[in-house]
A = this chain, B = another copy of it.
């Protein structure tokens, strides 16, 4: 699984947003997704780990998950050339509105 597939899953995006606020233990994350069972969340975390979006450090019997800084950069790099398209489009639209 690559980083694109990883973030395609809504629950995983939710996990990322929680970790963007602050580091959390696996248990806290499980509690934050009440529609899923503990093993389900654990597997999602494993996926996020494997594609480099999060990292774990042990704290006794807990596992503390943290967002990995540059994990999403691959997606950002990919999107960069396309950004030009909607920027140009927006510029053209403004131009159009100005000239009315």
> Which residues from chain A sit less than 8 Å from chain B, CB to CB?
4-5, 7-8, 13, 16, 20, 67, 69-70, 72-73, 75-76, 78-79, 81-83, 85-86, 88-90
Contact = CB atoms under 8 A, between A and B. Distances in A.
Give this chain's copy count. Answer: 2
Contacts of A4: 7-8, 13
B70 A89 contact: yes
17 contacts: A4-B7, A4-B8, A16-B82, A20-B81, A20-B85, A67-B85, A69-B86, A69-B89, A70-B85, A70-B86, A70-B89, A70-B90, A72-B83, A72-B85, A72-B86, A73-B86, A76-B83
Is the contact region of chain A dominated by helix, strand, or loop, or is it mixed?
helix
